[in-house]
Structure 1
Amino acid sequence: MNGLISSAPSQSAIRLTVSGFLLMLVQSTLLLMSPALGAGAGVLIWALTPLASCAFIAALIGIPDPPEQHWRHRHGR
């Protein structure tokens, strides 16, 4: 997979970036809606932040494509 830094980023890199930003948006919305940060909201924020960061970093770097192997062989043909 080509990352976002390459001249032709792949579709999965763009999807990872969009999903990472959407997770950050949900997190920001939850923070803005809560008058005081409770323990449950803190756990949710700490769970979403590393996930969103990892998605954005993986999109920037690019995940290697799996090798093209024919996992389904036709027997007898």
Structure 2
Amino acid sequence: MIVDDDLTKKGLRVQGVPVRGTISDIPELVRKYHIVEIIIAITTLKGERLNEVINLCNSTHCRVRMLSDPQAVDANGKPVVAG
């Protein structure tokens, strides 16, 4: 699933993946859907806001990884992530 702070996207699908809420909804979504891994794929996040998002994700005790480049894929077509 995807989260996006653009409220007009909630309930829509992005490349077939449902948008379930906003960044602040992450802890609730982790509990509701038993999520074990979070991939941060917002390449425009920088500085303090990026740290806030990372801290929020870490507070869920999920594995947290960063998508280094949304266009980067491995030989199997899977996204390349750090961590």
Please confirm whether the aligned pair reaches a TM-score higher than 0.5, indicating the same fold: no
Q: Which has the higher contact order (CA 8 A, sep 6+)?
A: 1
The structure in which a higher percent of residues are strand is 2
Query: Could you state the TM-score of these two structures normalised by the residue count of structure 2?
Result: 0.25
Query: Could you state the TM-score of these two structures normalised by the residue count of structure 1?
Result: 0.26
The structure in which a higher percent of residues are helix is 1
Larger of the two Rg values belongs to structure: 1
